[in-house]
A and B are shown apart, each in its own frame.
Chain A
């Protein structure tokens, strides 16, 4: 269970990225965090695991306040927070297996990790995760040999290898085509459901957010302006978040995308 209370981030340049953000996330809930670029979505996610230091406010994960932890304690807390990145952020020149195992770094000593001598249970678990995300047999490939969708699957496996209590997902589909985006989001929501894992998915595609999350939080200029189920996200709410726009036209084109994908998968099934 994650609780964010009154979180504020002011950058040294004086820019206010977040202003009094509060919400809480029960176990197993997948939240879509939407808002225009520059609204502070990325900052909010990074304030939770303190890749960005919040200026004030509290972040409670299972009743531990992350904002007051010292370095070693913060490292221990980060082990339980999986993070998935926009540009995958895999270590490109390492193998897929090493990338997945890097999720275990917080649990093993430096020398063990340097010699690549991870415990057998970690290795077996990594193989199982690779199977789960659909990358069986790719353990020895180098990360930069994979396609975008495959890389993001490795990113998911790496985050799950941490055995996290929370997933932070930063624009997971920004570098992917629409079809792969859906596949990745479907995979994410499935693994969250399997493990009862809460997740914050920061996403700029409203339709995808509505389709794949149980709750939507809308940010505008660092403040929460919408918080509710996807079905409540009507044109008025969207206008509050993004400003004026032709929302029904956008929905229509997204629906066509989804339909085309469905049709294609039927055709593929017919061929097989």
Chain B
């Protein structure tokens, strides 16, 4: 009865290799120690900062919407208009790029050009793109608009291309077999299959563009980010708190509404 083992150890699940397992584990621990040692925290400065941090928390809890309302509302209008126009233009540009980047319906040269544009747009942060467009178009929301429209292509065209590549090819064959031209094939066989997806993604991107519009103001591309930057620079914690609360509220509202629209589309 007692010849059964009384010890049992769970066999490793992810890293099963007996040699690599300890090497990788030690490597991770060593890296974390090394990385933590580079932090070089100036504790005195942090101690001083705690007081300021607390004032930010207070500003967040007792936001001041009124004393800077003119700046806030201007920034907000810039951000919102920038969001809408850049999303619309971004969608309009994403559709040709997305169709062109779908390997199953686009010819090879078009495919490579479209994929290259998407790759450039995706790999650079919005803020970096904004720096360049501000240098080109001057300060203000126009540079922000161009930035967000360009960034939308990278996001939307890529996902649209993926959606198109996943469609049911039998339907495409059927329309092609009935003698449809390339445009008719796209209109009758591709569009119905990807439209709900495209609408969902567009709404999601609208949400992202608003959030990003709050950031690119930091490098001079207009919007609520510029207002926020100023408020933080001037240590106006209660105004900064108000701006952050407005951003959160708009994002929440956008998410709530887009959830409803998505349900309604499907």
Asked if A and B touch directly (CB within 8 angstroms), the answer is yes
Let me know if A139 and B6 touch, CB within 8 A: no
Let me know if B7 and A98 touch, CB within 8 A: no
Q: How far is the CB of B7 from chain A (nearest CB, A)?
A: 6
A266 at the interface (CB under 8 A from B): no
Closest to A120 in B: B6
8 A Cβ contacts from B41-95 to A: none
A122-130, A175-183, A213-221: which lies at the B interface?
A: A122-130
A140 at the interface (CB under 8 A from B): yes
Let me know if B6 and A123 touch, CB within 8 A: yes
Chain A interface, >50% SS class:
helix
Let me know if B4 and A124 touch, CB within 8 A: yes
CB neighbours (8 Å) of B10 from chain A are 95, 97-98, 116
Closest to B8 in A: A123
8 A Cβ contacts from A90-136 to B: 95, 97-98, 116, 118, 120-121, 123-128, 131
Q: How far is the CB of A263 from chain B (nearest CB, A)?
A: 37
A225 to B162, CA, bound (A): 59
Closest to A131 in B: B4
8 A Cβ contacts from B1-28 to A: 1-2, 4-11, 13
Chain B interface, >50% SS class:
loop
Closest to A124 in B: B4
Let me know if B4 and A140 touch, CB within 8 A: no
Highest count of chain A CB atoms <10 Å: which of B2, B5, B8: B8
Let me know if B1 and A128 touch, CB within 8 A: yes
Let me know if B11 and A140 touch, CB within 8 A: yes
Q: How far is the CB of B31 from chain A (nearest CB, A)?
A: 25
B-side interface residues, number (CB < 8 Å) = 11
Q: How far is the CB of B16 from chain A (nearest CB, A)?
A: 11
Contact-residue bracket for chain A: 10 to 19
Closest to B1 in A: A128
CB neighbours (8 Å) of A97 from chain B are 8, 10
Let me know if B7 and A123 touch, CB within 8 A: yes
Let me know if A95 and B11 touch, CB within 8 A: yes
CB neighbours (8 Å) of B9 from chain A are 116
A95 to B13, CA, bound (A): 10
Let me know if A127 and B1 touch, CB within 8 A: no
Q: How far is the CB of B89 from chain A (nearest CB, A)?
A: 46
- For B5, give its contact among A95, A116, A123, A140 (CB under 8 Å): A123
CB neighbours (8 Å) of A139 from chain B are 8
Q: How far is the CB of B179 from chain A (nearest CB, A)?
A: 50
CB neighbours (8 Å) of B13 from chain A are 142
Residue pairs across A and B with Cβ atoms less than 8 A apart, 18 shown, are A95-B10, A97-B8, A97-B10, A116-B9, A116-B10, A118-B8, A120-B7, A121-B6, A123-B8, A124-B2, A124-B4, A124-B5, A124-B6, A126-B8, A127-B4, A127-B8, A131-B4, A140-B11
CB within 8 Å of A: which residues of B? Answer: 1-2, 4-11, 13
Give the 7 A-B residue pairs with the shortest CB-CB distance, closest first: A120-B6, A127-B4, A124-B4, A140-B11, A124-B6, A123-B8, A123-B6
CB within 8 Å of B: which residues of A? Answer: 95, 97-98, 116, 118, 120-121, 123-128, 131, 139-140, 142
* Inter-chain pairs besides A95-B10, A97-B10, 14 sampled, C-beta below 8 Å: A95-B11, A116-B9, A118-B8, A120-B6, A120-B7, A123-B4, A123-B8, A124-B4, A124-B5, A124-B6, A127-B4, A127-B5, A128-B4, A131-B4
